Amino acid sequence: MPKKYKRTKIEILLDILKSIVANPNSCVSRLSLKSNYDYNYLLPVLLKLNDKGFVSLKFTVVKSEKSRRIIVQGLTPKGIAFMKDLEFIVNELRR
């Protein structure tokens, strides 16, 4: 049986950014499914990307459930440039 390919951290980050572009205004659980990355690991990554200015997040509170929900609105222009740089790096690593 062939070994499974293990993604690098850069490839995981690139997959997260691509899933945000493909699914704007999505909740974190949807992006977790699309990027194939666990929710518990994805949330801190998204918060860090938001702090750095790469991603735009919206925090909402659902009154009936008394819980908060995080909506990932999309990438900022800085985030788009960062994604292009990561794509270049990943393509160079695969050569």
Q: Give the CATH number for residue 43.
A: 1.10.10.10
Q: Write the CA distances from 73 to 5, 34, 36, 95, integer angstroms.
A: 31, 15, 19, 33
1 assigned to some structural domain: no
At 54 the pLDDT is 95
Tally of domains in the chain? 1
Instruction: Let me know if residue 3 belongs to a domain.
Output: no
pLDDT tens-place string over residues 3-18: 677 888 999 999 999 9
Residue 25 belongs to domain spanning: 9-94
What tens digit of pLDDT does each residue of 40-75 get?
A: 999 999 999 999 999 999 888 766 666 678 889 999
Q: Determine, yes or no, domain membership for 51.
A: yes
